[in-house]
Amino acid sequence: MVQEQGLKLRTKLESAKTLKAATGEEESYSAGEMIKVNDTIGMVVEDVEANSEFVLLYEAEKVVAPKATGTGISFAVGDNVYYDATAKKVTSVSTANTLCGKALESAGDSDPEVLIDLIVLA
């Protein structure tokens, strides 16, 4: 079975919102990785090396996000989705994490991904 890699956008890129940012001397990111650039949470569109510009997807009505796993980390349709900056994944745990969207599908404790509406909330 072929596993899909990189950014998993389920809507047209033209309808999503993006911004350009730059990596530092020690930073590199993979396509689909969730990161926080200043106050903006988003997903890296393409692999990027240190000292390079990249595109960050910060709003999309349907995107598959990397999800934290573990007991109690699950979603029902419509649940709030929070970004865990330490794990660089979404979680259902609000404490010490940043609200970043809504779950568009159910996801259980062991599911590594979830379909979300990535929303600018600040």
**Domain edges within the chain:** 8-60, 63-118
Can you give the pLDDT at residue 5?
75
Can you give the pLDDT at residue 101?
97
Can you give the pLDDT at residue 2?
43
Can you give the pLDDT at residue 33?
95
pTM: 0.91
Q: Are 50 and 86 in contact (CB under 8 A)?
A: no
Can you give the pLDDT at residue 14?
86
Amino acid at 12: K
Burial class (CB in 10 A: 0-12, 13-18, 19+), 37: middle
**Can you list the residues of the chain whose pLDDT is less than 50?**
1-2
Can you give the pLDDT at residue 120?
80
Can you give the pLDDT at residue 1?
40
Q: Are 9 and 61 in contact (CB under 8 A)?
A: no
